[in-house]
Each structure stands twice: as structure tokens, then as C-alpha cells.
């Protein structure tokens, strides 16, 4: 058990981060090369001002028409993404581990808050799953990969919650948690989670088109 723990928290973490970093560089680089080769007619219209204008306006909750017309989904989406990113980075247990091996640390969330945020992430995932099952249009769109990324996002939080509260076998849960976290990190560049990498650019592009060519808002 201890060996497995050492392996998943040691070499496997390195592997996951290597996949994340080099995978992302590769994905972004090859996408850019492809865009240069095949989408010159689109790239020519990219514009910093309109790119940021679009990104900025879409970051504000309820500003874009899409946010306005899907209010519940909007709240869930913001809560989900904020908790998903903030909880692991600001969790005291994670920071302590990093401090032990690297000597660096930063501000952490109170454990009780982190616990609530974990529950929120799980609840949001349950909401997304419910939509996929019950809402007709979303059900029609859903593919296997959508379930996969939902599971990839939910599992680190579910296992983390169980481990933190020492439910079931603690050691097994911790290992499962670290494993799930590693999978999530490594999955970013090569699954639909890659929207983390590419959405900035698709948003920037449509913002440039709308701002520069169509002289209209895209939110």
C-alpha cells in the first residue's frame, strides 16, 4: 500500500504534469501551425482589442445573452469552475505536501471552506449529469466523452471528500484520490477539457470577427 502511495504521489505526479505541460505545448503549437497553414483568412483578422473585449465581457456573469438566457446553468458554471480551480490550489493539505518537498507555500483556505467547495463541485457535477439525462436537447447532444470528462472532473473531489472525512478505507481513498487527480491533470490537453486551452482562442477569434468586421457585440 505504502509503495503504491509513494508511486502515485511521486513519479506519477511528475508524469501527469509532464503530460499536461508538454501535451499542452504540443496541442497549442500544432493547432497554431495548422491555423497558420489553413486558416490564414481567419488569422488575418485577429485583433487584440476585440479579443480582450470579448473575453472580458464573457467573463462577467449574466452579461452575455447566453448567460442571461440560461441563469441556473450560469450560476452552476461559475461556481463549478471557481471551486474546481481554487480548491485544489488553496487546499491546506496540498500546500503542506508541496511545502514539505519544495519549501514553498502560500495562503490556504480554511479546511471547512474547502470542504464546502468540494461538496459544491460534486453537486455541480450532479447537476450537469442531471441535465445530460433529463434535458432533451442536452441529452441529444451528449456523447461518451461528455460522461468521461464529467467523471474525470468529479472523481478527485468525491475521493478527496471521502478521504478527508475518513469514510471507507482511508488509505485506499487517498490513493484513489491522488490517482484521480493525476488522471485529471493528464487529461486536460487530450480530452474535451482542452477547452481550457482553446476556448481563449476561439473566443478571441469570434470577438475579433464581431468587433472588427461585423462591428457588433458578440455577447
Partner 1 sequence: MGIQERLIEDVGLREGVSRLNEDSIQKTVNAVFQGETGARLKAYAEICLRCGMCTEACHFYLSHDKDPTYAPAAKVKQTIGTLLANGGRASPDQIYSMAQIAYSECNLCRRCVHYCPVGIDTAYMMITMRRICHKLGVTPQYIQDTAHSHSATFNQMWVKDDEWTDTLQWQEEEARDEFPDLRIPLDKEGADVYYSVIAPEPKFRTQLIYQAAAILHTAKIDWTMPAEPGWDNSDMCMFTGDFEMMGRLKRKHFESAQKLKVKRIVMGECGHAFRSVYDVGNRWAGWKHYPVPVVHSVEFFWELLTQGKIKLVSKYPGPVTLQDPCNIVRGRGLGDKLREVIRILVDGEIVETASNREHNLCCSAGGGVINCGPPFKNARVAACKAKADQLRATGVKTIIAPCHNCHGGLDDTVHKYELGMDIKFLGDIIYQCMERPEA
Residues contributing to the site for partner 1 (CB under 8 A): 31-32, 34-35, 37-39, 41-42, 44-45, 54, 58, 64-67, 69-70, 73, 77, 131-132, 135-143, 146, 192, 194-195, 198-199, 201-207, 209-210, 213-219
Q: Which is nearer to partner 1, 114 or 124 (CB)?
A: 124
Q: Are 172 and 5 in contact (CB under 8 A)?
A: no
Which cell goes with 50? 476585440
Question: What DSSP state is assigned to residue 189?
Answer: G
Q: Which is nearer to partner 1, 108 or 142 (CB)?
A: 142
Distance CA 72, CA 84 (A): 18
Q: Which is nearer to partner 1, 115 or 146 (CB)?
A: 146
Which cell goes with 107? 495562503
Minimum distance of partner 1 from residue 123's CB (angstroms): 17
Q: CB-based burial of residue 79 (10 Å sphere; 0-12 exposed, 13-18 middle, 19+ buried)?
A: middle
Minimum distance of partner 1 from residue 105's CB (angstroms): 34
- In a 13 Å sphere around the CA of 145, the CA atoms on its Cβ side amount to 8
Which cell goes with 113? 471552506
What residue has cell string 493547432?
A: 31
Minimum distance of partner 1 from residue 33's CB (angstroms): 8
Which cell goes with 4? 503504491
Q: Which is nearer to partner 1, 39 or 99 (CB)?
A: 39
The string over 107-134, giving b where at least 16 C-beta atoms fall within 10 Å of a residue's C-beta and e elsewhere, is ebbeeeebbebbebbbebbebbbebbee
Minimum distance of partner 1 from residue 211's CB (angstroms): 9
Q: Which is nearer to partner 1, 52 or 201 (CB)?
A: 201
Q: Which is nearer to partner 1, 9 or 70 (CB)?
A: 70
Minimum distance of partner 1 from residue 147's CB (angstroms): 10
What residue has cell string 462577467?
A: 60
Minimum distance of partner 1 from residue 160's CB (angstroms): 24
Q: Which is nearer to partner 1, 43 or 96 (CB)?
A: 43
Q: Are 125 and 154 in contact (CB under 8 A)?
A: yes
Minimum distance of partner 1 from residue 17's CB (angstroms): 22
Amino acid at each position: 500500500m505504502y509503495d503504491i502511495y509513494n508511486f502515485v504521489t511521486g513519479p506519477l505526479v511528475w508524469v501527469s504534469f509532464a503530460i499536461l505541460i508538454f501535451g499542452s505545448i504540443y496541442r497549442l503549437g500544432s493547432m497554431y501551425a495548422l491555423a497558420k497553414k489553413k486558416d490564414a483568412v481567419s488569422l488575418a483578422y485577429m485583433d487584440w482589442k476585440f479579443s480582450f473585449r470579448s473575453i472580458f465581457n464573457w467573463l462577467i456573469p449574466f452579461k452575455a445573452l447566453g448567460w442571461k438566457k440560461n441563469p441556473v446553468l450560469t450560476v452552476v458554471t461559475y461556481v463549478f469552475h471557481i471551486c474546481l480551480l481554487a480548491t485544489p490550489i488553496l487546499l491546506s493539505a496540498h500546500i503542506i505536501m508541496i511545502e514539505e518537498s519544495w519549501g514553498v507555500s502560500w495562503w490556504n483556505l480554511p479546511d471547512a471552506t474547502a470542504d464546502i467547495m468540494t461538496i459544491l463541485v460534486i453537486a455541480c457535477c450532479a447537476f450537469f449529469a442531471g441535465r445530460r439525462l433529463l434535458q432533451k436537447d442536452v441529452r441529444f447532444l451528449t456523447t461518451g466523452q461528455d460522461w468521461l470528462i464529467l467523471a474525470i472532473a468529479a472523481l478527485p473531489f468525491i475521493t478527496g471528500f471521502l478521504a478527508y472525512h475518513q469514510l471507507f478505507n482511508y488509505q485506499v481513498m487517498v490513493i484513489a484520490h491522488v490517482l484521480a487527480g493525476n488522471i485529471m491533470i493528464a487529461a486536460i490537453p487530450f480530452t474535451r477539457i482542452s477547452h481550457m486551452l482553446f476556448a481563449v482562442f476561439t473566443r478571441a477569434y469570434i470577438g475579433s470577427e464581431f468587433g472588427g468586421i461585423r462591428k457588433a457585440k458578440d455577447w
